[in-house]
Chain A
Amino acid sequence: MPELGRKGFGLLSILGVLLLWELVCRAGLVNLSLLPSPSQIAPALWKILASGSFLVPLGQTLGMLLIGYTIACVAGVALGLLMGCSEYLYGLLEPLVEVIRPIPKPALIPAMVVFLGIGAGMKITMVALAALFPVLINTLQGVRGVDPVLLATARTLGCSRFETIRKIILPASLPMILTGMRVSLSMGLVLVILAEMLAAESGIGFLILDLQRSFQVRPMYAWIAILAAVGLVLNILFEMVEDRAVPWRAK
């Protein structure tokens, strides 16, 4: 099946679920004030989109996400490279990483609120913390997995240590690094929404909780739909970056 045809075919399952949902609602099987039908949510969604009122919360949420994510990517790659290239640093830092990594990051939100308040600093920190580890671990694995033949080739051709890291180890680990970054992106999105729900006065997470509390069920669902679209778009953008950055991987 051609690429477009396959994607089109997959759309059928989405349409099927929406249709079933609609039917369940119309048949009166659920309380419509608690679970509105897609056809009832759609106008609410349209209203948010058409009025442009989605721009500010979306901007707030994405802003926090991207700042925290960028910090995590830079720190994760740097730490992963250092730990992967130096047995000494690996021995020193690996236990620390293994102690902090398993903590479910949302559990740290209350602590961070005490520490940093409910502003941007807390949200950025939470995103960065959650997004750091997948990047770090994958970078580390990528670096340690570089083929010994490649490293020996660099040595026999007279590449310096720094040159080897920059020109061989870093690009060779890039596929793994990008895999980590992709996982981190969705982790970051989860954390920013959660942080906004638990402790914030702005952003999409805050808005969804606020709408639920004021019983505005249809716009609440509309925002969830917007979040789904955000996640999807971020993933598609990431895939495009990946394809351009590691064209040799597919071969």
Chain B
Amino acid sequence: MTEATAGYLSIRDVNKVYGGQHGEATTALKSITLEVKQGEFLAILGPSGCGKSTLLQIVAGLINSTAGEVVLNGKAVTAPPPEMVYLFQQYSKSLLPWRTVEQNVALVFESRGMKKREIEERCGEYLGMVGLAGFRKHYPWQLSGGMQQRVAIARALAAQPRVLLLDEPFSAVDALTRIELQSLVLDLWARQGLTILLITHDVDEAVFMADRIAVLSSRPSTVEMVVDTDLPRPRDAMGTRELPRFLQLRHELVEHLLHRQNAGRVDA
């Protein structure tokens, strides 16, 4: 946090409206404004279907916003910038089943005119980082879900991004694997000096991993509040979760989300 620089990635007044013209228009995102500092780990927390993924895909330049802009390092994002990589929740859909683990990672090197030997070396290096050095020749469908997501993480890192966008990357794996992957990503974040935006509906995960948490409301989504987690680093899978600050923050956030959900029911 101390090395963080302000104004690195700005999400300015972003709106997203679906439909219109014929059907009824749905406002998914409404005036979302967030500032992300370089090297920061920001979690975006919100209920399912609140448009979190839409927001992250707009940040990634994968879809266009209806209004507002995303600025990365002084440049407006209109297409996927090379220094930003999006990691999907559905690892089973984002890995190429006809390629081995190594070849999946190699995808990002192939277009850069590298020699075969060099590509293999680099792939080995990144697979080593996620603890999959021994699975280079396996096919994705021969691996467990958690291992497949590790491959996707290795491939994302191989693209050498400065910003990593994580779209509920651990929600499809079992609880223990999730804890392992959380620590792995935190470790890589610290070592590579990345800026990370993490989308999640898991309060525990947001508090454990992030520097700051932006809470989104349900549709139309707005930023309800932004809180500093203010927990010491490096975070420990067990120890951090037992700190009073962790418990207090988790309590507050869960209470907030529950309260809002109930209020929503009464309104309806």
A153 near B: Cβ within 8 Å? yes
Please tell me if the beta carbons of B98 and A160 are within 8 angstroms of each other in the complex. Answer: no
Cβ-closest chain B residue relative to A152: B62
> B82 to nearest A CB, angstroms?
5
Please tell me if the beta carbons of B93 and A150 are within 8 angstroms of each other in the complex. Answer: yes
> A179 to nearest B CB, angstroms?
16
Docked pose: A82 CA to B57 CA in angstroms = 27
Q: Could you tell me the dominant secondary structure of chain A's interface residues? A: helix
Please tell me if the beta carbons of B159 and A155 are within 8 angstroms of each other in the complex. Answer: no
Q: Which of A155, A158, A160, A163 contacts B62, CB < 8 Å?
A: A155
Docked pose: A152 CA to B155 CA in angstroms = 14
Please tell me if the beta carbons of B98 and A171 are within 8 angstroms of each other in the complex. Answer: yes
Please tell me if the beta carbons of A248 and B141 are within 8 angstroms of each other in the complex. Answer: yes
Please tell me if the beta carbons of B97 and A248 are within 8 angstroms of each other in the complex. Answer: yes
Docked pose: A91 CA to B62 CA in angstroms = 24
Contact A152-B107, Cβ < 8 Å, known A158-B159, A171-B98, A251-B141: no
Most buried by B among A147, A149, A153, A174: A153
Please tell me if the beta carbons of A156 and B108 are within 8 angstroms of each other in the complex. Answer: no
Docked pose: A157 CA to B80 CA in angstroms = 8
Chain B, 65-108, contact with A by CB distance < 8 Å: what is the 0/1 string?
00000000000000110101110101001101110000000011
Chain A interface (Cβ within 8 Å of chain B)? 147, 149-150, 152-153, 155-160, 163, 167-168, 171-172, 174, 246-248, 251
List 9 interface pairs A-B (beta carbons < 8 Å), by A numbering: A152-B88, A156-B86, A158-B82, A158-B159, A159-B107, A159-B111, A167-B107, A167-B110, A248-B139
A167: chain B residues within 8 A (beta carbon):
96, 107, 110
Cβ-closest chain A residue relative to B57: A152
Q: Which of A149, A158, A172, A174 contacts B111, CB < 8 Å?
A: A158
Docked pose: A147 CA to B98 CA in angstroms = 14
Q: Which of A153, A168, A171 contacts B88, CB < 8 Å?
A: A153
